[in-house]
A and B are shown apart, each in its own frame.
Chain A
Amino acid sequence: MSFGEFLPEFFSNTLRLTGEFFASLLGQGDAAQATINAVLGACLAGLTCGSIGSFITLRRMSLFADMLGHAVLPGVAVGFILAGSKSTPALLLGSLAAGLLAAALTRAITSHSRIKDDASLGITLSLFYAIGIWLLSWITRASPELSSEASGLNHYLFGNPAVIHTVDLVFLASAAVVILAVLTLFFKELTASIFDPSFTSSIGLPQRFFDGLLLVLLTLVIVVSLKILGVILVAALLVIPPATAYLLTDKLQRMVLLSATLGALAGFGGVYLDFVLEIGVGPAIVCLSFLGLMAAFLGSPRHGILGRYLLHKRLVLKTLRENLLTSAWRIGERGDELAAIPISDLASERGEPPSFTRQLARRMKGSGWGRLEHENDHLVLTASGRERARALMRGHRLWELFLQREASLAPDHVHAGAEEIEHFLDAETLRELEDLLDNPETDPHGKLIPPKSLPGETP
């Protein structure tokens, strides 16, 4: 099949399966029920993992969560062997026990030997995982009854939506209710224990209790999400949506809500993608969430690469424009009209070739402070441009005076510092400078400090 044939067929298939997917969400019958169960399960798991994951990542327990995810595997195997069937409660209890045991072993290794935290996580992870795989390898080779019963136990490695039954949903939902209730109830305490453990203990809250609480909730959420995501990928849903939310907001409350939403969305999208492309729900969920993280990493307004680049560009442009304003002010001070300044004057004041200054002056467009007029030969300042120029110069010269008087700098050393800070002085700082310097009129170079507001114009 050539690429030209493949593409149209691919699209028509995708479209048809998308229709089927949404039809089965509303439909009835066994197949439809399986899809609905998968969607509900994945969304619930995403919601729960996302909300508790926020606390986990902030408490620097991301890798711990990863370890726990791998380490519950022997519990699944032992639960299966003891129960002799894939009874959900047995597997859940087994994995809960294995998770808590793994947490205890990790702590024991770090506190009783010179092995460091990360290595002890790696040891527990690989040891428990190996035991789990070892037991599974035995189960699949053991007596025919056991191994035929065990078919599908493999799906605990990646998760499988086809095995989400009502009983699994009940467990997921009750775990979600418990976890969300505890998070809401102890929100304040957990917040304190995450950001400032010593503060928590100093106000009499037992830090160990909250750490233990997080550990138990974490194990619980991993255990009930196993059937959807599998042991290797479950930690991803605990780490990736919270990390994404962390890039998008600075408030913990919003971060928790956002990451829960992102988790649930990824769950839904994952089930859909698997339905259409048959790539596995767990991997699809993880890849989707990771795409979200990459998008936030690049595009988050405040913490993303693009956002910070744009901010930087804006600052550069603002500085450039303000420097033109102060140059114009200096020319105006010498008695010329400040309304329209010839580019040639501006260029000689700034010591640049006029063509370069003209290029800079073009970028005044859109600032509302002024623009090029008279066949691009004059920079015309607006009232707000003149006002900004005055404020900048006032700040500049007050700062120079401040540096000379209070920091004892020589008059010929103060200009560079003032040139940089003039762009960042706010009204509050200016007022303090005025008070401190007693409303002076001239700067260290004997130049007039511009008044608080221009005559005839409202400040």
Chain B
Amino acid sequence: MNGSVLAINAADLWFDWEIDTWPLLMALLVGLSCGLLGTVFLVRRTALLGDAVSHSVLPGIAGGLLLAGYLVKQDDGHVFGTSTTMLFIMGGALLAALASTMLIEALHRYSRIKPDTALGAVFPAFFAAGVILIRIVARNAHFDEDCVFYGSLEVIGEGSQVLPTLLCSILVILFFLGFYKEILITSFDQQLSRSLGLPTGLVNLLLVSLLALAVVVAFEAVGAILVIALLIIPPATAQLLSYRFDRVLLLAAFFGLSAALLGSWMTILLETVGFETARAPTVAVVAGLQFLLALTFGPEQGLLVQGLRKRALKSRILEENLLGAVYRLGGNPPAEPVLLEDAAARLGYAPAKLSSALRRCISRGELTVEEAAVSLTPQGEQKVAEIIRGHRLWESYMIHEMGAAADHVHDAADQIEHHLQPGLVKELEELLGNPAVDPHGSQIP
């Protein structure tokens, strides 16, 4: 901070493997398993169950810690202490997660309380109970309250602390490899999976248990709440980029991993420039940035692409309207040149608005300009004839098949003429028996 920018050592910009290996591995493992599990909950439209479980494991963790404190008199200075303590914590968390999901289910099944209210009532209550228990634990044992919120990726100093997370990730991967078909079918069609005799209930139970497990092992690393970010955001990012379940799954794992890597790296970079932050929330923020990037720049569903597509459609409609106006004003062949002002007046636009459309039509060779008057080239004439043919066929269709009045069909046809596909026009022709004139008595080109 005090030194000049030039004094920054290049080594400060990259991981210091002596310190950073285990924290990075931890973050990567959490990102991977949360990304995979979160995808399943996201496509099942129970994304907030991850939210609920991550809040409600807290009393289980604290209860396990409290119980272990009485039974196992050992304290080696880590948040979770010995491996026996870890077992108590796991058991407690699993129990709390299952109890909260069952309570949510019971509340809305056996009373008039709606599911969302049940969810919103149960998990804060579990969380509050957890906080109270933790306060009690903290009086008796070493427990860092802040780790609930900030996580403590930085203090992970040896491989043994990563071991539970590693085991959990392996379990998650094995689960996905072993039960891929069951997960896929139960996620999209519970009825089909039941009629196929798949163990739907078992898969659901395993999923919730694995979720609880993943949340618990992630707890020490990223804190109770930030794990939601890793459970929901990378899968949602993946969903913005693909429609296929297997690809979404792989992409979600990838985004979980990349958020962990980039987030950890960003913390180091930020620290070098004097902006010191905790590592876990940085990972979550990076996951959020990835999502926002995908939301904006996604190749198929991105906001940018959507906007461009909308603009392209708008200018195409404008061009086609211009061609149509020139055609209609020009009269029957041989057509006379039309003033741009007249065309604009017919369409109800200011002439200036048409100038760029005119330029594009000229560059495509559909219109020519002579002495401020516009006329169609043969190529333009063919294009406009097709559009007007669609327009007039549609008018006929509306009158003959839908029973619309002759003076009510024009506006609808005006809208649809830009969207008629050749296949549809052919069907209209066959249906109407290739009519020569439209309902207003105009010729169908």
Contact = CB atoms under 8 A, between A and B. Distances in A.
B124 interface: yes
Interface stretch (B125-133, B314-322, B432-440): B125-133
Given A137-B150, A246-B112, A305-B111, A130 B285 contact: yes
Given A131-B288, A138-B275, A126 B228 contact: yes
A14 B45 CA distance: 47
A240 B124 CA distance: 9
Interface residues of A, number: 62
Contacts of B223: 133
Contact of A287 (B125, B226, B276): B125
Given A134-B277, A293-B121, A303-B111, A127 B306 contact: no
Interface of B is mostly: helix
B233 interface: yes
A303 B223 CA distance: 38
Interface stretch (A111-119, A201-209, A328-336): A111-119
Interface stretch (B21-29, B47-55, B209-217, B335-343): B47-55
B48 A286 contact: no
Contacts of B162: none
Contact of B120 (A109, A136, A232, A235): A235
Contacts of B107: 297
Tell which of A65, A130, A138 has the most Cβ of chain B within 10 Å: A130
Contact of B239 (A114, A293, A303): A114
Contacts of B291: 123, 127
B112 A232 contact: no
A115 B233 CA distance: 11
Interface string A56-69: 01001011011000
Nearest to B292: A127
B120 A123 contact: no
B119 interface: yes
Contacts of B245: none
Contacts of B118: 243
B110 interface: yes
B51 A125 contact: yes
B306 A112 contact: yes
Nearest to A127: B288
B262 to A, nearest CB: 14
Interface in A264-293: 278-280, 282-287, 289-290, 293
B277 A239 contact: no
Interface in B192-249: 223, 225-226, 228-229, 231-233, 236, 239-240
Interface in B263-312: 275-278, 280-282, 284-285, 287-288, 291, 295, 301, 303, 306
A303 B233 CA distance: 38
A247 B108 CA distance: 11
B359 interface: no
A49 interface: no
Contacts of B131: 158, 280, 282-283
Given A60-B114, A131-B288, A236 B124 contact: yes
A236 B236 CA distance: 26
A394 interface: no
Given A112-B303, A131-B288, A247 B225 contact: no
A429 B306 CA distance: 62
Given A118-B47, A287-B125, A123 B236 contact: yes
A129 B225 contact: yes
A381 interface: no
A138 to B, nearest CB: 5
Contact of B226 (A130, A158, A279): A130
B367 interface: no
B443 interface: no
Nearest to A115: B236
A66 B229 CA distance: 15
B406 interface: no
B176 interface: no
Interface of A: 57, 60, 62-63, 65-66, 70, 109, 112-116, 118-123, 125-127, 129-131, 133-134, 136-138, 141-142, 154, 157-158, 232-233, 235-236, 239-240, 242-243, 246-247, 278-280, 282-287, 289-290, 293, 297, 300, 303-305
Given A60-B114, A123-B288, 8 more contacts: A113-B240, A123-B236, A134-B282, A236-B128, A279-B132, A293-B125, A297-B111, A304-B111
7 contacts: A109-B295, A112-B306, A116-B47, A119-B47, A133-B226, A137-B281, A236-B125
